[in-house]
Amino acid sequence: MFSSLHSTDPDVFTIVSREGQRQNENIELTASANFVSRAVLEATGSLLTNKVAEGYPGRRYFSGCEYIDEIENLAIARAKKLFGAAYVNVEPYSGSQANQAVYLSVLKPGDCLLSMDLGHGGHLSHGAKATMTGKNYDCHFYHVNPETERLDYEQILALAEKIRPKLIIAGASSYPRLIDFQRFREIADQVGALLLADIAHIAGLIAVGLHPSPIPHAHFVTTTTQKTLRGPRGGMILLGEHSAEEWGRKLNSGIFPGMQGAVHMHTIAAKAVMLKEALDPSFAIYQRRNLDNASTLAEELTNRGFRLVSGGTDNHLMLLDLRSKGITGKEAEERLFKVGITANKNLLPYDPEKPRVCSGIRLGTPAITTRGFGSEEMPCLADLIDKVLSDEPTAPTLDFVRKEVTRLCQLHPSVSQNYGDDSNGFHLKFQLTGKEVSR
């Protein structure tokens, strides 16, 4: 099939093709990764990228916005329906910018913010020293309980009473347990703080009721759209009925002109498509399988002698403590990479190692679940991980595991090696209700 990219720029075409091949031939266990549908991909690559628009539907600073207004309104309506929100802003370019827009709307430079420590599961954009947030605000951090490795709400309250933050952030990028947003709101109310829930990782689970929603509790909710939600790279801000009127307009100004310029309409169109897919009953089945895969993989790894932070998982990710195996997270990441398994090293709570080394590794199941991996394959996957991480693997072991990875990937193809070829293109096979669905 003819490809304009191929004829215009064979260099980029070749690199993209090779990345497609990498995605197809490797098992993706990065907890924040996923594969979008062909429809989301098509919207992301659509001619909407040509349109300049600033502001919001009906109130743009450019003319000719009648169709893109329709798309943005559609995305907003779908997001409201999916999450039961009263206000949605679909313009944030990313989750970090959605967070920064909240800070800009709520805080003054130097104001006090309380969030989860990065090494205990938090996120860079929640106030880490090296970031703009860390430099502009007085950031303090809560930690997980050293015994249970879970959020310790009494400790968070005690810290909040001491530092009196203006904003508390609930949300994480590597925390495997449920987050009690209602309890966080009680803490915020007790110290007169506002509450931001960052649900970037768990948004897909929340959308289908597999994790309690923060919408009725938090003053502000932010998310990315590319993780468990399985959409394009981007962010959203959502508010419940209780805070929409007070904060909606301020947040709109926080995004534009506060944080961003012209909107990325092609991405907003892709968000709209993702939201339609998420409103379909098959999305709840996908998320159920995602959770089943994560809990089965956690159990199988535990049976093989791995220690999991907090003893397991309630969501789509888990953290393996590799100290008892005598290797670092960095070494584990490198060994898994050699056999075609992609995952990232991760700091553990109270980790003695530096962030570039780490004592742990984070594994997540959203991407493999989209490919069609089921819980029946988790024992095999746990075996492969065990073979590579438990002892220094020999060349024959590495060879065996690589072949098994290839076998599993062939069983569940993700993307074509032949980028641009429609007949063999972005064809995700996904077992939903017993019948195979081409997406």
Site residues (vs ligand DSN, CB under 6 A) = 32, 123, 173
Distance (Å, whole) CA 57 – CA 10: 38
Least spacing, CB of residue 233 vs ligand DSN, in Å: 9
User: Identity (one letter) of the amino acid at 362?
Assistant: R
Residue 143, annotated as binding a ligand: no
Contacts of 313 (CB under 8 A, 6+ apart): 176, 177, 294, 295, 298
In the complex with ligand DSN, the residue whose CB is nearer, 226 or 260, is 226
Nearest CA to 177 out of 227, 120, 222 is that of 120
Nearer to ligand DSN among residue 74 and residue 318 (C-beta): 318
Cβ closer to ligand DSN: 78 or 123? 123
Q: Binding site annotation covers 299?
A: no
> What residues contact 306, with CB distance under 8 A and at least 6 apart?
320, 321, 324, 325, 386, 389
b/e burial code for range 390-419 (CB count within 10 A of at least 16 → b): beebeeeeeeebbebbeebbeebbbbbeeb
Taking a C-beta distance cutoff of 8 angstroms, is the pair 273, 47 a contact? no
- Residue 193 or 358: the one with the smaller Cβ distance to ligand DSN is 358
Q: Which residue lies nearest ligand DSN, judged by its C-beta?
A: 32
Q: What does the DSSP assignment read for 327-346?
A: --HHHHHHHHHHTTEE-EEE
Q: How far is the CB of 369 from ligand DSN (least distance, A)?
A: 17
Strands 341-342 and 344-346: unpaired
Q: Is 211 annotated as a binding residue?
A: no
Is 54 part of any known ligand binding site?
no
- Work out how close the CB of 125 gets to ligand DSN at its nearest, in angstroms, rounded to a whole number: 8
**Beta carbon nearer to ligand DSN, 173 or 213:** 173
To which residue do tokens 């909710």 refer? 221
Residue found by looking up tokens 């197809």 in the block = 24
- Which CB sits closer to ligand DSN, 123 or 217? 123
Q: Would you say 251 is a known binding-site residue?
A: no
Smallest distance from ligand DSN to CB 173, Å:
4
Question: Which one, 367 or 401, has the nearer CB to ligand DSN?
Answer: 367
N- to C-terminal Cα separation, the chain: 20
Give the integer Cα–Cα distance in Å for 80 and 184: 23
Residue indicated by tokens 């409103």: 279
> Residue 77 and residue 227: Cα distance in Å, rounded?
21
Minimum Å gap between C-beta 32 and ligand DSN is 3
400 token code pair: 């065996």
Query: What is the Cα–Cα distance from 261 to 53, expressed in whole angstroms?
Result: 9
Determine the Cα–Cα distance for residues 318 and 336; give it in Å rounded to an integer: 16
CB of 308 to ligand DSN, least distance (A): 18
Q: Which two tokens stand for residue 180?
A: 């009690």
Q: Which is nearer to ligand DSN, 123 or 335 (CB)?
A: 123
- Token pair, residue 402, equals 């690589």
DSSP 8-state class, residue 202? T
Residue with smaller CB distance to ligand DSN, 173 or 267: 173
Known binding residues are 118, 122-124, 245
Binding-site residue ranges for (6S)-5,6,7,8-tetrahydrofolate: 118, 122-124, 245
